[in-house]
Structure 1
């Protein structure tokens, strides 16, 4: 029998939905091999020590043309995280494997190293010092942890890139649609949630090969890695840009004014993957815009500082 989620006082939740205004400890939950934007976001976080301390990285499952299934996607993401960790000279950074399947039912968690690590880290912290979870993939690991330990909802703040804008025609976004059961768990749990929608909000966070050639390629091993990853993502870059929207989840913690937001009731997800409103739902923070230029300028500057090339 699944235990009910812990009840969080409304003023406490609202307080945690405000930007912390200080450096915080984070865990990153990422399907790093799925696309090219997770790599940018992880490297951005590792190079933003003034805002975040990355305590651990959790590999999330994914299934598309880059994997044979959720387990294969998680394993490939795990190896990609280890590669980035090595390039960044952070070999002691803890990395954990996540769920090998999506949630098989609405209240059925999936055991994993990542889910247990999240529970252990968050529950060991002081009650008034929540752990921030920056999630940029399917939300399976976090949902499983919440189901395994419902008190976790009062010990973390979840910053999740998931779904599309509320005004979009549907919310068939990769992170949300892969595991609708898990998406509903986090939206129903009452966990303080900062939601960054993809299409219609973060979708203009784009860059081009020529911009990365100018500002990233020659900035150390990490810059070279990001440039080559971007180069290989298309056969023809002529007149084309690519969205790097995962950066936004880190950017909200770095500078919240780059990601304007508002409080809104937590939405429901319908069976045909659309947003729906319901009365009496707890509030979440909903990002309505991102400042593309400020975020990329900050990333480029930090890559330069890390490599000694301004």
Structure 2
């Protein structure tokens, strides 16, 4: 049985690093490529970080640099959570994984179109700029992609503003294009990912592995925990990990169908994922929304993937 074919589009970022490890280390995953997008830090920094994580973990898939900013707005970054490098905490090696010469959108298109229809899942864990650019470059992606499993949005609250989550707020026009396309979308938003707090029990399981990769993860989580503690969290939310888990083991979450639209012009609500579970807008559901997490099962998947990489 072949694994789930994935393209991980990310902006590493501490939780993106964990998403890379799960996508690379789970035996049910067939990670085809990693693409980067400006978000948690600048495109130069997140691309270096992606290549450094791949170097540490022994991951050799193509890595391509993507958009340096959103489609129509000024770029925003998140050094308050991820530090000046975007991956503060561990010592990062010089990247040994080469950079693919293709722009991320081109790599996404060529990879999807080279595989059978309905076999490649896109997993964006940063702003959705690359995904929107790929869709504009090749509109047939919407019928070709198996599913888009994205970390972004929320149905109750934001974290960049009271209404908007960071990834959606960073490029709402791109998000609007992704949610409006005809492909199946799973939204793994803040309501779900704030259930995925990497507590001491999880970190102890990682440390027990005793590998250099486990030490790297512990160093990541040490910095990330301190950043979250300054905002009143007992442990950091490892958001992006959840979007990968939703593909590899969908039963790790429960879901509700909804119509989701992106607010583009609200005075206070730009970037909000307007989520209609009850048909109040008289629109058909276009999104599977993750609402509840089996956290112990998520930790089992993650620890097993780190152990499988064995470095």
Which TM-score bucket, shorter chain as reference?
0.7 to 0.9
Paired residue for 2:178?
Answer: 186
Cα–Cα, structure 1 residues 167 and 234, in superposed 2: closer, same or farther, change >3 Å?
closer
Kept after mapping to 1: 8 A contact 2:128/2:174: yes
CA distance in 1, matches of 2:64, 2:20: 15
Q: Does 1:119 align with 2:99?
A: no
TM-score normalised by structure 1 residue count: 0.78
Paired residue for 2:70?
Answer: 102
Paired residue for 1:80?
Answer: 49
| SS of equivalent to 2:179 | helix
Matches within 5 A, 1:111-190: 113-127=103-117, 129-156=118-145, 157-164=147-154, 166-168=155-157, 171-190=163-182
Cα–Cα, structure 1 residues 264 and 276, in superposed 2: closer, same or farther, change >3 Å?
closer
Paired residue for 1:249?
Answer: 243
Paired residue for 1:224?
Answer: 215
Please report how far the alpha carbon of residue 211 of structure 1 lies from its aligned counterpart in structure 2 after TM superposition. Answer: 4.0
Cα–Cα, structure 1 residues 210 and 266, in superposed 2: closer, same or farther, change >3 Å?
closer
The match for 2:253 among 256, 259, 271 is 259
Q: Does 1:46 align with 2:24?
A: yes
Deviation readout 1:99-139 (Å, 9 max, x if unpaired): 0121027xxxxxx7100111111122223x33101111001
Which 5+ residue runs of structure 2 have no aligned equivalent?
74-101
The match for 1:280 among 283, 290, 293 is 283
Please report how far the alpha carbon of residue 47 of structure 1 lies from its aligned counterpart in structure 2 after TM superposition. Answer: 0.7
| SS of equivalent to 1:146 | helix
Cα–Cα, structure 1 residues 186 and 103, in superposed 2: closer, same or farther, change >3 Å?
same
Cα–Cα, structure 1 residues 218 and 186, in superposed 2: closer, same or farther, change >3 Å?
same
Question: Aligned residue pairs: how many?
Answer: 267
| SS of equivalent to 1:172 | coil
Structure 1 runs of 4+ aligned residues shifted over 6 Å read 236-239
Paired residue for 2:37?
Answer: 60
CA distance in 1, matches of 2:306, 2:275: 41
Cα–Cα, structure 1 residues 24 and 234, in superposed 2: closer, same or farther, change >3 Å?
closer
CA distance in 2, matches of 1:58, 1:286: 24
CA distance in 2, matches of 1:175, 1:307: 31
CA distance in 2, matches of 1:287, 1:229: 26
Cα–Cα, structure 1 residues 86 and 104, in superposed 2: closer, same or farther, change >3 Å?
same
CA distance in 2, matches of 1:283, 1:148: 22
Please report how far the alpha carbon of residue 232 of structure 1 lies from its aligned counterpart in structure 2 after TM superposition. Answer: 2.6
TM-score normalised by structure 2 residue count: 0.78
Kept after mapping to 1: 8 A contact 2:205/2:303: no
| SS of equivalent to 2:45 | helix
Kept after mapping to 2: 8 A contact 1:216/1:303: no
Paired residue for 1:25?
Answer: 5
Paired residue for 1:300?
Answer: 303
CA distance in 1, matches of 2:112, 2:130: 14
CA distance in 2, matches of 1:27, 1:137: 13
CA distance in 2, matches of 1:36, 1:151: 33
